Amino acid sequence: MKSSKSAYSEPGKIGKIDHHIIVVWVDNEAGVLARVVGLFSGRGYNIESLAVAEVDKRKHLSRITIVTSGTPQVIEQIKLQLKKLIPVHKVADFSRNDPKILFQELALLKVVSTKKNQQKVKKMCKKYNPIILDRSKKSFVIQVTALRREIDRLIENLRPLGLVSASRTGAVAMTKGAEVFK
Amino acid sequence: MSKLFTGAEIVFKCLEDQKVEYIFGYPGGAVLPIYDELKNHKSIKHILVRHEQGAGHAAEGYARSSGKPGVLLVTSGPGATNAVTALTDAYMDSVPLVCISGQVPTHLIGTDAFQECDTTGITRPCTKHNWLVKDVNELSKVIHQAFKVATTGRPGPVLVDIPKDIQFKKGKYIFKDSKQKLNGIKNKKLNIKEIDQLIKMIKNSSKPIFYTGGGVINSGPEASKLLRELVSLTGFPITSTLQGLGAYPGDDPQFLGMLGMHGTYEANNAMHDCDLMINIGARFDDRITGKVDEFSPKSKKIHIDIDPSSVGKNIKVDLAVISDVSHLLKALIKRFKEKNKDFLSSNKQKTSKWWSQIEKWREKKSLKFKNSETIIKPQYAVQRLYELTKNKDTYITTEVGQHQMWAAQHYKFNKPNRWMTSGGLGTMGYGLPAAVGVQVANPGKLVIDIAGEASVLMTMQEMSTAAQYKLPIKIFILNNQYMGMVRQWQEILHEKNYSESYTAALPDFVKLAEAYGCVGIRATKPSELDQKINEMISVDKPVIFDCVVDKNENCFPMIPSGKPHNQMLLGEDDEEEEISEEGKILV
C-alpha cells in the first residue's frame, strides 16, 4: 500500500521490532492479571508468552513475566502504561539479547515412539537439563529447561520422532550477579 | 471497640468526609440499601436523572465546571452498563468521576443472577481503577482511595462495585489519608536543569508557539493565571486544543484560536512552520497532528504533561517534563524572571518576522462565512449568542458535531472551566446532561448547551431532570435536520451520497419543551435572532431554543484527508482536490 491519505493518524515508518522481556511486580489481588493482559490486548500489544505466580506470600506479591515484541516506541509505551496501573509496584524491561540477564523456560514433552527413536530424543534433549518424569513401554515424559528459541527448535526437531504433546511455562527472567532490580 | 456501621452508612460517611454535596443517580434493586440511607444525610443532595448515561455526563459537567470530582450512583446490570459511555468519555477527557454501583449479593455473583453483570470486568478498560468490595471492613478504605485515584495525577473515572449484602453488613469505618503509593502521581521534584534547558530553548527560538490543552484547565485556575503570565512575559503566540479553550483569553491578540482539524489557518500554519513548540498539558491527539510524518517537521518540541505515558506516544519530543502544569509554570516563571530581565522588549526583534508572517495568515480570515439575510447561518447564530452573553459569566456545553466546532471557533472563552465538551470520545448526547451538572454546580449562572438536533435527541430525557430541579439550562439547538458532520464528510468523501444522515420526522422542539414543562422558542430568520436569544436568557426556566439554520452549511476551515497542517481547506471557494481511495477508507 502506498502512503495512506487519512486525517486519522496513519501508520508512520515502522521502527525495528525487538523482542523484550517485561517483568511486572503486582499486588496479588482479584483481577490483576486481567488488568495487565487487558492493557496489552486493548492497546494492540503482543504477548508471546506469559508466566505468573505469587512470589511473596506475606506481601501478596506476584511476578508476571511477559515476552513481547514491538518497536522501541511501543516497548516504551508498554512500560509507561503498566506503571500507571494501581496494583503495579515496579516494571523491568530486558532486551532478549541482554547478556546480564538469565532467561529460562521449562517444558514438559511427551514422546510416544519406538525404543530407537526414544533414545534419539533423549540424546537431543541432553543439552537442556533433561529429567525423565514418567516412563512406560511406549512413551516417556521429559522435562527440559532452556531458552525459548531453543525449545522452539527442539520441538520442531522432535515432532518426527514421536513428540505428541508439549507444555511450556513461558519464559522467566532474572538478573545475573548480586544485583537486584529496584 | 469502635462503633460498627452498615455498608450503606459507610458509603455516606465516606461521601461526607470527602465533602461531596451532590450525587447524580438512579435507584434500582442492588443499591436500595444505599438509597434507604440517603434520608439520614442532609448535606448530600441526590439528583435523580432519567438514564444512567445522563448521571455520568451530569457528573462530568459538575466536575469540569467546579474542579471537584463528580459522583454518580447506579444500580447493578443495566445501571452500570448504561454508565459505561459516560465513564469512557471521562476517561478520554481526564474528568474525575467516582461511580458507585450496586452489585448482586456476593453469593449470587457468577450465577447470572437478575441484573447481574461483570461490572468491574466491563469497566476495567474505561476507568483508572475499579474495585469490587467483598469485605465490608475494606469499604471505607476503598472509597477513600477511589477519590484519591480519581482526583490525583491525570484525573479520571473510577468505579466501586458494592454487592448488596455488603451494603447491609456491619463493619468498621476508617478514614485516614492512605499512604499507599499511587504510581507516579504525586508532584515530582522538578529538575532545575530541565527548567534551564527549557528557558534556553525559549531564548534560542525565533518562531515559537505555545500549544496548550486540557491539562492547564485540570491543573486548576491558578494554572490559567500562570499561563497568561508566561505568555505575556515571552510575547509568544499561543494556540489551544478544543479542551484547553478558556485557559487563555479567546479575544487576546496573542491568541491564534484553536488548532487542529477545524482550527484556524493561522494556528495550524504556525504549528507547521514553528521552530519551537511548547506543548503544555496537551497530548498530540490525532485531530491535532493530522498526518504524523509531516507534523511540524522543523520544530524542536517541548512537552509538559503530568502523565508519563502521554510523552512520546504519538510524537517524539526533544524535551519532556513530567509535572502538574501550575507546579511547573510557577517554577519556570520564577526562574525565567530571575535570569531574563526585560526579555519581552529585547526579544521583540527576534520574533518580529514570525509575527508578521502570522499576521499574513490571519488576513485570510479563515473563520469567515457568507452570511445571509433570509436564512440563519449557524456560525452567525453562535456569534450572536456570544455577543449577547459575553458580559455574563456564561457556561457553555456542547454535543458533538458541526455545532461543536462552530461553538469552539466562534465563542470566545475568557475563563477556565466555562467550556464543557466531549473531545476525546466524541459522545453525542453529552451536552444536555452535562449542562444539568454544570447548573447544579453553579446555581444562578447562565448555562447554555450549544446543541445539534441529532445529538440532543440522544439524551433529551434529561430535560425532565432539569424541570424537576428547576435548573434553568438553555438548550440552543442549531437545527439543520442533518447529522451535519456526517453529511459534510459524505459530501466531501462519498460523492454526496447522504446515506442515513438526514433525520426525517424530527419532533417539534417547541412542543417538546412544553411537554417537559419547559419553555420552547423557535427562530427561523436572522432578523429575529437577537430578540429571541434575549428572550431565552431572560426566562428563568429550562429552555429549548430551536434555531433553524442553513441545512447545507459546512464547517471550515478544515484539514482534509491525508494533508499536513499547512494545506487546509478554507471554504467553498477553495478548489477541492480529489481524495484518494485509501483516504476514504481510513477516515
Residues B417/B66, Cβ–Cβ less than 8 Å: yes
B125, B128, B261 ranked by CB distance to A38: nearest: B125
Answer whether residue B560 shows pLDDT above 80: no
CA torsion angle for B52, B55, B57, B59 (degrees, to 10)? -150
Q: What is the pLDDT of residue A9?
A: 57
Q: What is the pLDDT of residue A3?
A: 35
Beta strands in chain A (DSSP E): 18-27, 49-56, 61-70, 88-95, 101-112, 131-135, 139-146, 163-168, 172-175
B347 versus B396: the higher-pLDDT residue is: B396
Beta strands in B368-494 (DSSP E): 394-398, 419-420, 446-452, 474-479
CB-based contact (8 Å) between A88 and chain B?
A: yes
pLDDT averaged over chain A?
A: 92
User: What is the distance in angstroms between the Cα of B167 and the nearest Cα belonging to chain A?
Assistant: 20
Q: Which amino acid is at B498?
A: Y
A7, A77, A80 ranked by CB distance to B561: nearest: A7
Helix, strand, or coil (residue B88): helix
Check A13 against B313: CB less than 8 A apart: no
Q: What percent of chain B has pLDDT over 70?
A: 95
Check B289 against A9: CB less than 8 A apart: yes
Instruction: Show residues of chain A in contact with B128, CB under 8 Å.
Output: 84, 86
Check B309 against A84: CB less than 8 A apart: yes
Residue A42 CB neighbour total at 10 angstroms: 12
Check B183 against A85: CB less than 8 A apart: yes
**Strand order across the beta sheet in which A61-70 lies:** A49-56, A61-70, A18-27, A88-95
pLDDT in tens, B284-331: 998 888 878 889 999 999 999 999 999 989 899 999 999 999 999 999
Dist. CA B109–CA B114, nearest whole Å: 10
Dist. CA A150–CA A144, nearest whole Å: 10
Q: At what angle do helices B52-66 and B431-441 cross, to 10 degrees?
A: 50
Cell numbers found for residue A38: 487487558
ω into B557 cis (within 30 of 0): yes
| DSSP codes joined into one string, B429-459 | T-HHHHHHHHHHHSTTSEEEEEEEHHHHHHS
Quickly state the pLDDT bin for A112 (edges 50, 70, 90): very high
Residues B445/B418, Cβ–Cβ less than 8 Å: no
* A interface test, pick of B149, B291, B310, B555 with most A CB neighbours within 10 Å: B291
A6, A30, A35 ranked by CB distance to B561: nearest: A6
Residues B257/B367, Cβ–Cβ less than 8 Å: yes
Helix, strand, or coil (residue A3): coil
Check B121 against A34: CB less than 8 A apart: yes
User: What's the burial of A1, exposed, middle or buried (CB within 10 Å: 0-12/13-18/19+)?
Assistant: exposed
pLDDT in tens, B210-255: 999 999 999 999 999 999 999 999 999 999 999 999 999 999 999 9
Instruction: Show residues of chain A in contact with B579, CB under 8 Å.
Output: 5
Quickly state the pLDDT bin for A4 (edges 50, 70, 90): very low
Q: Which of B100, B38, B95 is nearest to B62 (CA)?
A: B95
Q: B440 has which bridge partners?
A: none
Q: What is the pLDDT of residue B14?
A: 98
Q: Which of B430, B462, B457, B435 is nearest to B446 (CA)?
A: B435
Q: B102 has which bridge partners?
A: B162
Check A84 against B183: CB less than 8 A apart: yes
Q: What is the pLDDT of residue B37?
A: 98
Instruction: Show residues of chain B in contact with A84, CB under 8 Å.
Output: 128, 183-184, 307-309
Check B261 against A4: CB less than 8 A apart: no
Quickly state the pLDDT bin for B184 (edges 50, 70, 90): very low
Q: Which of B413, B513, B394, B441 is nearest to B24 (CA)?
A: B441
Instruction: Show residues of chain B in contact with A42, CB under 8 Å.
Output: 125
Residues 228-267 of B with CB under 8 A from A: 261
The length of chain A is: 182
Check A86 against B292: CB less than 8 A apart: no
Q: Which amino acid is at B278?
A: I
CB-based contact (8 Å) between B560 and chain A?
A: yes
A5, A77, A86 ranked by CB distance to B561: nearest: A5
Q: Which of B462, B499, B461 is nearest to B482 (CA)?
A: B499
Count interface pairs A-B at CB distance under 8 A. 88
- Known catalytic residues of B are 52, 114-115, 164, 485
The length of chain B is: 587
Q: What is the pLDDT of residue B150?
A: 97
Q: What is the pLDDT of residue A15?
A: 80
Answer whether residue B146 shows pLDDT above 50: yes
Helix (H) / strand (E) containing B212: strand B208-212
pLDDT in tens, B379-426: 999 999 999 999 999 999 999 999 999 999 999 999 999 999 999 999
pLDDT in tens, A25-60: 999 999 999 999 999 999 999 999 999 999 999 999
Answer whether residue B32 shows pLDDT above 50: yes
pLDDT in tens, B480-534: 999 999 999 999 888 899 999 999 999 999 999 999 999 999 999 999 999 999 9
CB-based contact (8 Å) between B110 and chain A?
A: no
pLDDT averaged over chain B?
A: 94
Q: What percent of chain B has pLDDT over 90?
A: 87
Q: What is the pLDDT of residue A14?
A: 77
Q: B130 has which bridge partners?
A: B159
Residues 154-193 of B with CB under 8 A from A: 182-184
Average pLDDT over residues B181-185: 51
Residues 7-66 of A with CB under 8 A from B: 7-10, 12-13, 30-31, 34-35, 38, 42
**In the block, residue with C-alpha cell 518497536:** A71
Dist. CA B479–CA B402, nearest whole Å: 11
Q: What is the pTM of this model?
A: 0.94
Beta strands in B319-404 (DSSP E): 319-322, 394-398
Residue A161 CB neighbour total at 10 angstroms: 16
Helix (H) / strand (E) containing B129: strand B129-132
User: What per-residue string of b and e applies to B160-183 under the rule 16 or more CB within 10 Å gives b?
Assistant: bbbbbbbbebebbbbeeeeeeebb
Q: Which of B378, B422, B423 is nearest to B402 (CA)?
A: B378
Average pLDDT over residues B201-212: 97
Check B182 against A76: CB less than 8 A apart: no
Q: Which of B313, B266, B276 is nearest to B200 (CA)?
A: B276
Instruction: Show residues of chain B in contact with A45, CB under 8 Å.
Output: none
Answer whether residue A86 shows pLDDT above 90: yes
DSSP state of B327: H
* B interface test, pick of A1, A3, A8, A74 with most B CB neighbours within 10 Å: A8
Answer whether residue B580 shows pLDDT above 80: no
Lowest mean pLDDT, pick from A110-124, B143-157, B203-217, B556-570: B556-570
A12, A38, A85 ranked by CB distance to B293: nearest: A12
A7, A34, A73 ranked by CB distance to B560: nearest: A7
B121, B149, B312 ranked by CB distance to A73: nearest: B312
Residues A126/A62, Cβ–Cβ less than 8 Å: no
Average pLDDT over residues B134-147: 97
Average pLDDT over residues B320-345: 93
CA torsion angle for B346, B350, B352, B357 (degrees, to 10)? -160
Dist. CA B396–CA B61, nearest whole Å: 10
Q: What is the pLDDT of residue B279?
A: 98
* For B183, nearest residue in chain A (alpha carbons): A84
Which residues touch A159 (CB under 8 Å, ≥6 apart)?
none
Which residues touch A164 (CB under 8 Å, ≥6 apart)?
A110, A111, A112, A139
- Taking the CA atoms of chain A, what radius of gyration do you get in angstroms? 20
Q: Which amino acid is at B396?
A: I
pLDDT in tens, B65-83: 999 999 999 999 999 999 9
